[in-house]
Protein backbone atom coordinates (compact mmCIF):
# COMPACT_ATOMS: atom_id res chain seq x y z
CA UNK A 1 0.00 0.00 0.00
CA UNK A 2 1.26 3.41 -0.88
CA UNK A 3 0.29 4.77 2.54
CA UNK A 4 1.88 1.82 4.36
CA UNK A 5 -1.48 0.57 5.65
CA UNK A 6 -1.75 -3.23 5.82
CA UNK A 7 -5.13 -4.64 4.76
CA UNK A 8 -6.67 -7.92 5.89
CA UNK A 9 -7.95 -8.48 2.33
CA UNK A 10 -4.34 -8.92 1.15
CA UNK A 11 -3.62 -11.74 3.65
CA UNK A 12 -5.21 -15.17 3.07
CA UNK A 13 -4.71 -15.97 6.76
CA UNK A 14 -6.88 -13.02 7.79
CA UNK A 15 -10.66 -13.39 7.72
CA UNK A 16 -12.64 -15.65 5.38
CA UNK A 17 -11.48 -16.21 1.79
CA UNK A 18 -14.21 -16.15 -0.85
CA UNK A 19 -13.82 -16.37 -4.63
CA UNK A 20 -12.96 -12.96 -6.07
CA UNK A 21 -14.59 -13.93 -9.40
CA UNK A 22 -16.82 -17.00 -8.80
CA UNK A 23 -17.11 -17.65 -12.56
CA UNK A 24 -13.33 -17.76 -12.95
CA UNK A 25 -11.66 -19.01 -9.74
CA UNK A 26 -7.87 -19.00 -9.40
CA UNK A 27 -5.96 -22.26 -8.85
CA UNK A 28 -5.53 -21.36 -5.15
CA UNK A 29 -9.29 -20.83 -4.89
CA UNK A 30 -10.04 -24.08 -6.77
CA UNK A 31 -7.85 -26.02 -4.31
CA UNK A 32 -9.53 -24.61 -1.21
CA UNK A 33 -13.12 -23.65 -1.92
CA UNK A 34 -15.59 -26.25 -0.67
CA UNK A 35 -17.99 -27.51 -3.33
CA UNK A 36 -21.57 -27.85 -2.07
CA UNK A 37 -23.94 -30.35 -3.67
CA UNK A 38 -27.54 -29.92 -2.53
CA UNK A 39 -31.01 -29.67 -4.01
CA UNK A 40 -32.15 -26.24 -5.23
CA UNK A 41 -35.28 -26.66 -3.11
CA UNK A 42 -36.17 -28.64 0.00
CA UNK A 43 -39.41 -29.07 1.87
CA UNK A 44 -39.93 -27.43 5.27
CA UNK A 45 -38.74 -29.83 8.01
CA UNK A 46 -37.96 -32.53 5.44
CA UNK A 47 -34.50 -34.12 5.78
CA UNK A 48 -32.20 -33.80 2.79
CA UNK A 49 -28.52 -34.39 2.15
CA UNK A 50 -25.78 -31.86 1.52
CA UNK A 51 -22.41 -33.06 0.28
CA UNK A 52 -19.36 -30.84 0.83
CA UNK A 53 -15.98 -31.57 -0.76
CA UNK A 54 -12.67 -29.75 -1.01
CA UNK A 55 -10.47 -30.76 -3.93
CA UNK A 56 -13.26 -31.41 -6.41
CA UNK A 57 -12.23 -28.44 -8.58
CA UNK A 58 -8.48 -28.99 -8.18
CA UNK A 59 -6.83 -31.51 -5.85
CA UNK A 60 -5.67 -30.17 -2.50
CA UNK A 61 -2.69 -31.81 -0.74
CA UNK A 62 -3.60 -34.24 2.01
CA UNK A 63 -0.46 -34.92 4.02
CA UNK A 64 0.57 -34.39 7.65
CA UNK A 65 2.12 -30.98 6.92
CA UNK A 66 -0.68 -29.65 4.66
CA UNK A 67 -4.30 -30.71 4.86
CA UNK A 68 -7.89 -29.60 5.29
CA UNK A 69 -8.51 -29.71 9.04
CA UNK A 70 -12.30 -29.35 9.01
CA UNK A 71 -15.46 -28.57 7.06
CA UNK A 72 -18.47 -26.74 8.48
CA UNK A 73 -21.94 -26.30 7.07
CA UNK A 74 -24.26 -23.35 7.72
CA UNK A 75 -27.70 -22.23 6.59
CA UNK A 76 -27.07 -18.53 6.25
CA UNK A 77 -25.33 -17.74 9.55
CA UNK A 78 -26.88 -20.73 11.37
CA UNK A 79 -24.37 -23.47 12.18
CA UNK A 80 -25.52 -26.95 11.09
CA UNK A 81 -22.54 -29.28 11.47
CA UNK A 82 -18.81 -29.93 11.35
CA UNK A 83 -16.48 -32.73 10.19
CA UNK A 84 -12.81 -32.91 11.22
CA UNK A 85 -9.92 -34.57 9.36
CA UNK A 86 -6.31 -35.57 9.83
CA UNK A 87 -3.61 -35.16 7.21
CA UNK A 88 -2.72 -38.23 5.21
CA UNK A 89 -5.40 -40.79 5.97
CA UNK A 90 -8.58 -38.88 5.25
CA UNK A 91 -10.22 -37.03 2.38
CA UNK A 92 -12.08 -33.78 3.05
CA UNK A 93 -15.61 -34.76 2.11
CA UNK A 94 -18.65 -34.79 4.35
CA UNK A 95 -22.30 -35.61 3.81
CA UNK A 96 -24.66 -33.82 6.19
CA UNK A 97 -28.32 -34.69 6.59
CA UNK A 98 -30.18 -31.54 7.56
CA UNK A 99 -33.76 -30.36 7.88
CA UNK A 100 -34.66 -26.69 7.84
CA UNK A 101 -37.83 -25.01 9.03
CA UNK A 102 -37.12 -21.90 6.98
CA UNK A 103 -34.58 -20.67 4.50
CA UNK A 104 -31.73 -18.27 4.98
CA UNK A 105 -31.09 -17.77 1.28
CA UNK A 106 -28.08 -20.04 0.91
CA UNK A 107 -26.16 -22.94 2.35
CA UNK A 108 -22.60 -21.99 3.23
CA UNK A 109 -19.64 -24.30 3.69
CA UNK A 110 -16.35 -23.36 5.30
CA UNK A 111 -13.07 -25.24 5.06
CA UNK A 112 -9.92 -24.65 7.08
CA UNK A 113 -6.55 -25.44 5.47
CA UNK A 114 -3.79 -25.65 8.08
CA UNK A 115 -1.51 -23.55 5.82
CA UNK A 116 -3.83 -21.39 3.75
CA UNK A 117 -6.58 -20.35 6.13
CA UNK A 118 -10.37 -20.29 6.04
CA UNK A 119 -12.40 -20.60 2.82
CA UNK A 120 -16.11 -20.27 2.16
CA UNK A 121 -18.52 -21.14 -0.64
CA UNK A 122 -22.26 -20.80 -0.82
CA UNK A 123 -25.09 -22.38 -2.76
CA UNK A 124 -28.61 -20.95 -2.96
CA UNK A 125 -31.44 -23.08 -1.59
CA UNK A 126 -35.13 -22.44 -1.17
CA UNK A 127 -37.18 -23.97 1.63
CA UNK A 128 -40.76 -24.53 0.55
CA UNK A 129 -43.90 -25.53 2.46
Binding interface with Fe ion (CB under 5 A): 113, 115-116
Q: Which residue is nearest to Fe ion, using beta carbons?
A: 113
User: Strands 126-128 and 41-43: what pairing?
Assistant: parallel
59/107 Cα distance (integer angstroms): 23
Shortest distance in whole angstroms from residue 1 CB to Fe ion: 26
Shortest distance in whole angstroms from residue 89 CB to Fe ion: 17
83/93 Cα distance (integer angstroms): 8
Shortest distance in whole angstroms from residue 116 CB to Fe ion: 4
68/87 Cα distance (integer angstroms): 7
Closer CB to Fe ion, 113 or 125, in the complex = 113
Amino acid sequence: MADGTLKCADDILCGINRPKDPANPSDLEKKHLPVIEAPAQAGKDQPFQVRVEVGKLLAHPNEPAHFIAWLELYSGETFLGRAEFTGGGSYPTAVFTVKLSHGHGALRARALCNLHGLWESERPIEIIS
